[in-house]
Structure 1
């Protein structure tokens, strides 16, 4: 009676096990790399919006200050989104019949806010307050990039826990003088002496900024 398995069966079984283990390991590595990639996190990817609003046109082109639309950024946790009547302050006078602005006109006529898709959205378990960052000299550019150069708004930074901790461990390089906080263009990081001056000016350093309770409350 012949043998059920040939002598080479052990070799093929070992090869199959090795290949199976390799595929599983590769899948785990790929999954980890995918979820930590900029693509999976939406970095540098513009969100489709009800109205293709251009910061490049409104900020760089027309010189509109960030705070005209995001009017709570200096006094609240959220930067705020402009109500429709803010948009219509100008667009009741210019581009009044533009097809691209039909959602804006409908929003005003129906008294329903425009539902914008969030570009930078932190997890609910992470607490972030815009006002304290502005008060302490952190410029918009540090988290949002050069928004004034964006035809459509995209996420400029990963905004991961590691990203936040890097700044909290060494905030000096991200600080700006008061008159440069809302300048969204990239600027040379301050030299060590200037960074120390800004840290002292904004009274930063009396609390451990890497304490868990800073962001998780």
Structure 2
């Protein structure tokens, strides 16, 4: 009776089996890596904007306070995007003929807002309130990075659930004194382990399981 399988069939079968196992294990790992990659999350990538606005120049070098442009950051959920007339407060007097700022002048003349490319956008099922965080001692740079060093602004963190939970589970590690909230170069001081719990109490931050309840962020 003729053989059904050739002498090399066993090797082919083993190779096929190993390839199948590798795919079953490797593809989910590869997919997870792609989903968390900067290409997907946008971390570290500065998209083209209608005007090449530099936080490094305006806030870092000129010292313009965050709240001058983001006027509602300590009042309501949204930090707010400045209207064109905020830009023109200065640029109606300086750099008035700059080609780079022509979109700003056109926006102001036509009463049409600039269409900025949004960097940080959470899913619709996530509720986030800027004012609650900054008035409770969580600084801008904790989430947005050292914006005052960014020539072109980019997304500093992916804002995955774990990122938020790290802070919600231990706010004493991240909370600051009120005068340090707007400091983009802030680092936890040597006595943060002692200072943090005191600030949590002073800010009336309810810790424990309360900050990790689903309804805190998902409403």
Q: What are structure 2's unaligned runs of at least 5 residues?
A: none
Identify the residue that residue 22 of structure 1 maps to in structure 2.
Answer: 22
The Cα shift of 1:75 comes to 0.8
Identify the residue that residue 151 of structure 1 maps to in structure 2.
Answer: 151
Structure 1 stretch 171-180 or stretch 201-210: which is displaced more?
A: 201-210
**Residues 117-156 of structure 1: matches in 2 within 5 Å?**
117-156=117-156
Identify the residue that residue 110 of structure 2 maps to in structure 1.
Answer: 110
The Cα shift of 1:102 comes to 1.1
The Cα shift of 1:177 comes to 1.0
3-state DSSP class of the match of 2:165? Answer: helix
- After superposition, the C-alpha distances for 1:86-143 in whole angstroms (9 at most, x for unaligned) are 1011000000110111111111122111111111111111100001111111111110
**Residues 128-207 of structure 1: matches in 2 within 5 Å?**
128-189=128-189, 190-205=191-206
Q: In structure 2, how many angstroms separate the alpha carbons of the residues matched to 1:116 and 1:53?
A: 10
Identify the residue that residue 214 of structure 1 maps to in structure 2.
Answer: 216
1:12 aligns with 2:12: yes
3-state DSSP class of the match of 1:157? Answer: coil
TM-score, structure 2 normalization = 0.93
Q: In structure 2, how many angstroms separate the alpha carbons of the residues matched to 1:103 and 1:34?
A: 36
Structure 1 stretch 153-162 or stretch 199-208: which is displaced more?
A: 199-208
Tell me the number of residue pairs that the alignment of Structure 1 and Structure 2 aligns.
Answer: 217
The Cα shift of 1:19 comes to 1.6
Q: In structure 1, how many angstroms separate the alpha carbons of the residues matched to 2:195 and 2:5?
A: 77
2:176 touches 2:199 (CA, 8 Å); kept in 1? yes
Identify the residue that residue 85 of structure 2 maps to in structure 1.
Answer: 85
TM-score, structure 1 normalization = 0.94
3-state DSSP class of the match of 2:68? Answer: helix
3-state DSSP class of the match of 1:40? Answer: helix
Q: In structure 2, how many angstroms separate the alpha carbons of the residues matched to 1:120 and 1:215?
A: 16
3-state DSSP class of the match of 2:40? Answer: coil
2:174 touches 2:188 (CA, 8 Å); kept in 1? no
